[in-house]
Every structure is written in C-alpha cells, then in structure tokens.
Amino acid sequence: MPERTWPSVAVAGAGAVGCYFGGMLAHAGAPVMLIGRQPHMDAVARGGLLLDRAGVQLRIPLQASTTLDAVRDREIVLFCVKTVDTESAAAAMAPHLSSGSLVISLQNGVDNVARIRTASGIHAIAAVVYVAAAMVAPGHVQHSGRGDLIFGDPLHTGIDLGRLRPLFERAEIDCRVSHDIATDLWKKMIVNCAYNAISALGRARYGRIAANPAARRLMTQVVEEAVAVAGAEGVPLPLDTMLAEAFSLGEAMSNARSSTAQDIERGRRTEIDALNGFVVRRGAERGVPVPANQALFALVKLLEDPE
C-alpha cells in the first residue's frame, strides 16, 4: 500500500500546548512549523523540540518561526495563542492563510471561535484540550498527563471534521468529533475555573487541590456557580456530573499545575478573564450571583497586576 501523506501543519502560538501537539504530529511524520516566542523558536531551530513524554525524551526536528506569516501554504493551523491575544493574532494571521486552510482553536474559554471570526473573518473550529504540559526550558516541553482533544464546529459553518480524527490518531493523540461542542467547551471551562486560580493562588498541583477538604469545598462552590451561569446561558449541565468530572481530573492529572500558575510565575498576563472572569461577567448579565468566582478572579488579577 502507498504511504499515506500528511497535511502541512502550523502551530500559531507554540507554548506548552502547541509544542506538545505539534511535536506529536511531527514525531509521527507530519511537516510542522512552530510559531512562537524567540527563545523557544531559536532553541527549536538549533536542535529540534525536546519533548519529555512517558519517561522518554524525544528530540523532534521541525521548522520554527517567530512571525505569523509562516502560516502561509499550511493546510492546518493549530491556533494556540493566549485568549488575551485572540483578536490581534487572528487579524495578523488572516492575510497569510491559504483559502483552504483549516484553523483549529486549541484555547481556553468558550467564545474564541466567535472572537476569531469577528476579528478576522476566519471560519475556525474549536478543540477542547485536555493535557498537562509545561515549557521547562527554551525548546523543551514536559508532558505530565492526558493529551486528548474534542473537535467541533460551534458556529455550524459546515466544515468537514471527518478527516481530523484519523489524522490525530496517527500521531497517538486521542480525539473525537462532538456535535455539541458548546457544551463540551463549557464543561472544560468550568473545570478550569475549579483549578486554575486555586493552583496559582495556592501554589499547588491538581492532585493536592482535589485531596484537600477545604479546597474541595471551594471547588464545589465555584462549580455550582458556573453551572448556574451555564444554565442561564442555555447550556444545561448536571451539577453532580460536573463535580465528579472536576474531582476526577485531579486524580487523572495529579501532577499538573495550571497555566494560570505558570503565567503568574513568569510575570505574564493570565487567561483568568476567559475563565472565572467570564463566569463573573455572564453571571452579572444574567443576574446569577457568583461570589466564589468573583473572589478568585479578583485575587488572580491582583497577582497579575502588581504595583
């Protein structure tokens, strides 16, 4: 049988998430271009991407760039920029995309696809991401848990998603296509609301958070509030199921530290506005009180914006 060919891939915003999935695709044989910050891209250009996974270090050769025009002629673009940069990055990338390029948002939050379209006209699809990964040195990503994706088309543009599952599974990435991606995005965001701020404020990994009685009580209140807001937004979610999912993630990704914690340590802007901050804003609009989410949001903003 003839060898199956790979589509060309670009990763726009090659931080931990982008480097992990881009690295897995490149290791399987896909031609991948990473686009990210200069220290990381310089290291990748010199010696490839170093991926720590399952106790094994992989040195993966791939291309690297620091400018978004490198998406040109790429068939698939994994859009992994921070939510605070969604509009600016999408607008900067749009002129360089080929007409047939498929853009996939691998971002936290529930409304990035709509924001991408408003800012740039790009018809992107969404991916719900479950992975624990961190950049531990320039060009060096460390994987510590999961690594699966859920794809969907929240704006119902009719994009054919059928080719994505076999493509990613060839790279040992578990994935599925969802016909209710809005619900899946809310589920992921609510779990992020339960862990991200607490991990940053408490300097704790997920397993320790989920095992601590006081932290579990706080997580419960955060989830209860977020589920109420989701219901008011027309996304009904069973509270018991969401609490079970939140606590089980602490076991499945016990060694993970949130991206919010990593951003605070590095002096970078966090994505808290797209997580607990999003719940606070939508709660205010819908008349749903969310005091626990408000407190976590305010405290992270204090850390994010020191004097």
Q: What is the pLDDT of residues 164-201, one digit of tens each?
A: 999 999 999 999 999 999 999 999 999 999 999 999 99
- The crossing angle, in degrees rounded to 10, of helices 291-304 and 213-232 is 110
CATH code for residues 183-304:
1.10.1040.10
Give the integer Cα–Cα distance in Å for 184 and 235.
10
Nearest residue to 198 via CA among 281, 258, 278: 258
State in words which class domain 9-179 has: alpha beta
Give the pLDDT of residue 4: 64
Give the integer Cα–Cα distance in Å for 307 and 305.
7
- The crossing angle, in degrees rounded to 10, of helices 239-252 and 213-232 is 130
Domain ranges of the chain: 9-179, 183-304
Same fold, 9-179 and 183-304: no
* Six-digit token string for 223: 């989830």
pLDDT tens profile 78-134 = 999 999 999 999 999 999 999 989 999 999 999 999 999 999 999 999 999 999 999
The set of residues, in sequence order, having a beta carbon less than 8 Å from that of 21 and lying 6+ positions away, is: 11, 78, 80, 106, 131, 147, 149, 173
pTM across the whole model: 0.93
